[in-house]
């Protein structure tokens, strides 16, 4: 119950703000907010849920798209050689969203045309996943490598397997729950909300979410990225000391 109080207070504040006589707020077609704009990764982090809520000035259909910070991803194809599976061909994908999830109030095909879905990259099949070879982007990534990339990220819980639900609390108020797994990347996430009316895109709204490491997790992460050589040496020393201690304990036993 104590964990829900801040979310309830934030939702009440949001509703009161909607009712306030603010000309700018009234002019917006979509207003959105998060229960918390920061996800804190600490020791023992097992993932978290956030609530995205908002209001539309006029009824319509909503699509929520969440994208994580972009990074390169390597996909390797395994083949069986003399009874052993080994990595053979590999392909690097350029600037792939590290996290991708969508939510809607009803199936996308019921209100959104394929041209808008492709242009806005809504849906896994419409993601612009570009592969590169020797630093040059390919016109189109091989199908089996693209599918392998998506399957890998789905298996890790970073890509959706099916859209989540956007729930309308009234004709104007809505909410949806966003799930972030324990292995989510740190960085800035973009959350976009699209409002469709009679099959046409009416308006959009965007908000940002920050995922950060705190405490000892942040210190280790900072050491590994800013002082990689020192981190490597320290890791070797810890491994040697741990091995020596285990060997000593075994001899005494």
Each residue of 57-110: pLDDT tens digit? 999 999 999 999 999 999 887 766 666 666 677 889 999 999 999 999 999 999
Instruction: Tell me, yes or no, whether 209 and 223 share the same domain.
Output: no
Instruction: Tell me, yes or no, whether 208 and 228 share the same domain.
Output: no
Instruction: Tell me, yes or no, whether 55 and 73 share the same domain.
Output: yes
Instruction: Tell me, yes or no, whether 190 and 70 share the same domain.
Output: yes
Phi, psi of 85 (to 5 degrees): -80, 125
CB 150 within 8 A of CB 131: no
Instruction: Tell me, yes or no, whether 101 and 208 share the same domain.
Output: yes
Can you give the pLDDT at residue 243? 66
Instruction: Tell me, yes or no, whether 174 and 237 share the same domain.
Output: no
E strand map for 57-166: 61-67, 70-81, 84-97, 100-104, 130-133, 136-137, 164-165
State pLDDT tens for residues 120-176: 999 999 999 999 888 788 888 888 899 999 999 999 999 999 999 999 999 999 999
**What sign does the dihedral 151-156-159-160 (CA atoms) show?**
positive
Distance, in Å, from the CA atom of 54 to the CA atom of 14, rounded to the nearest integer, reads 8
Can you give the pLDDT at residue 164? 94
**Residues in contact with 43: Cβ distance below 8 Å, sequence separation at least 6, in sequence order:** 215, 216, 217
Burial class (CB in 10 A: 0-12, 13-18, 19+), 168: middle
How much of the chain, in percent, has pLDDT values that exceed 70?
A: 70
- Name the band, by pLDDT with cuts 50, 70 and 90, for residue 28: confident
Average pLDDT on 111-117 reads 95
Domain interval for residue 107: 4-213
Instruction: Tell me, yes or no, whether 231 and 110 share the same domain.
Output: no
Whether the model clears a pTM of 0.85, i.e. scores above it, the answer is no
Can you give the pLDDT at residue 139? 84
**Residues in contact with 174: Cβ distance below 8 Å, sequence separation at least 6, in sequence order:** 53, 54, 55, 56, 62, 105, 166, 167, 168
């Amino acid at each position: 119950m104590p964990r829900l109080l801040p979310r309830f207070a934030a939702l009440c504040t949001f509703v009161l703000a909607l009712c306030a006589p603010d000309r700018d707020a009234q002019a917006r077609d979509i207003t959105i907010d998060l229960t918390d704009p920061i996800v804190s990764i600490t020791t023992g982090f097992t993932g978290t849920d956030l609530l995205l809520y908002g209001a539309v000035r006029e009824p319509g259909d909503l699509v929520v798209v969440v994208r994580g910070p972009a990074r390169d991803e390597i996909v390797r194809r395994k083949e069986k050689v003399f009874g052993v599976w080994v990595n053979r061909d590999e392909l690097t994908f350029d600037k792939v969203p590290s996290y991708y999830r969508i939510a809607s109030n009803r199936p996308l095909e019921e209100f959104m045309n394929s041209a808008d879905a492709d242009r806005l990259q809504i849906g896994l099949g419409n993601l612009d996943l570009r592969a590169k070879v020797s630093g040059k982007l390919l016109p189109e990534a091989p199908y089996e490598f693209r599918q392998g990339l998506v399957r890998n990220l789905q298996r890790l819980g970073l890509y959706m397997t099916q859209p989540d639900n956007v729930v309308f609390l009234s004709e104007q108020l809505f909410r949806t729950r966003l799930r972030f797994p324990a292995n989510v990347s740190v960085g800035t996430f973009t959350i976009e909300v699209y409002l469709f009316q009679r099959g046409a895109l009416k308006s959009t709204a965007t908000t940002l979410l920050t995922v950060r490491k705190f405490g000892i997790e942040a210190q280790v992460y900072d050491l590994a990225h800013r002082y990689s050589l020192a981190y490597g040496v320290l890791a070797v020393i810890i491994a040697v000391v741990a091995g020596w201690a285990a060997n000593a304990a075994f001899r005494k036993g």
